[in-house]
Amino acid sequence: MPTQEQDLQKARSRFLQDVLNRTISAHPSKVPSHTLKALLPTRLWRRLFTNTDLQRRENDRNEALGDAILALLEALQIFYEFENAGLHRMDEICHILHSNETYARLLQHMSSSDPDLKEFIRGKSIKGVADTFETIACLSYLENGWEETEAWFREFNRPLIRAALEARARAPTNLEFQSWAVEKKRKSSVAWAKRVEAGEKRSGHRPYLGYITDLRQKLKRG
């Protein structure tokens, strides 16, 4: 059964993920689709779309490397371009950016100007579309090198990071309170933990369950 801390973190992640989804869909100019087609030569697009066992195995290998490449690109961009993000913010934003849902939304938008790619991902699950995005990132790295792949990625990732940071600043709860609650609960007595679970006020903080309730209500209101 999920703990209250896990419940809170899951709700916060959903809040930030929805912000990224709206940024991608409501502001298409911030996520240019024209850059994707020119990223790879025609021969690589044809290989990607080839439906054979050998090519599927190769795509799986490329997807694994692409996943690691994207994670590093995201972390480096936040580290160098958003110096005031802080450790907790950086970790949380990286987690949301590096999600199947974010990658799937990006590729679905970018494929709008490419009928072949749009057809290739049609009917795929969110994870399947995200895996294709990771495969494309890997192929770009192998074909174009790190610098060109990084330049392509930064162009559309920057507004997503900015939107996530702004959303985090106005999120219904804050990560510092969550860390406090987890640490306090770990060190406290069983009796104190029961009072927290019952929603009793402690050390000047609002009841823990009150935070959960308020968060859910605010998320429902959008």
- The pLDDT of residue 189 is 46
Are residue 139 and residue 217 in the same domain, yes or no? no
pLDDT, average across residues 205-221 = 52
- Rounded Cα distance, 105 and 103, in Å: 5
The model's confidence at residue 200, banded by pLDDT at 50, 70 and 90, is very low
Q: How many domains does the chain have?
A: 2
Q: Is the pLDDT of residue 157 over 80?
A: yes
- Rounded Cα distance, 88 and 79, in Å: 12
Higher pLDDT, 79 or 216: 79
Residue 90 lies in a domain: yes
Residue 2 lies in a domain: no
Are residue 45 and residue 132 in the same domain, yes or no? yes
The model's confidence at residue 101, banded by pLDDT at 50, 70 and 90, is very high
**3-state class of 88 per DSSP?**
helix
The model's confidence at residue 180, banded by pLDDT at 50, 70 and 90, is very low
Are residue 134 and residue 186 in the same domain, yes or no? no
What's the CATH code of the domain at 89?
1.10.1520.10
Please report, in angstroms and rounded to a whole number, the separation of the first and last CA atoms in the chain.
27
pLDDT, average across residues 131-157 = 93
Q: Is the pLDDT of residue 185 over 70?
A: no
Are residue 145 and residue 97 in the same domain, yes or no? yes
pLDDT, average across residues 96-107 = 93
Query: Which of 152, 169, 186 is a domain's end point?
Result: 169
- The pLDDT of residue 145 is 95
| Phi and psi torsions of 202, nearest 5° | -145, 130
Instruction: Compute, in degrees rounded to 10, the torsion defined by CA atoms 167, 168, 170, 171.
Output: 110
Q: Domain span at residue 124? A: 13-169
Residue 134 lies in a domain: yes
- The pLDDT of residue 103 is 94
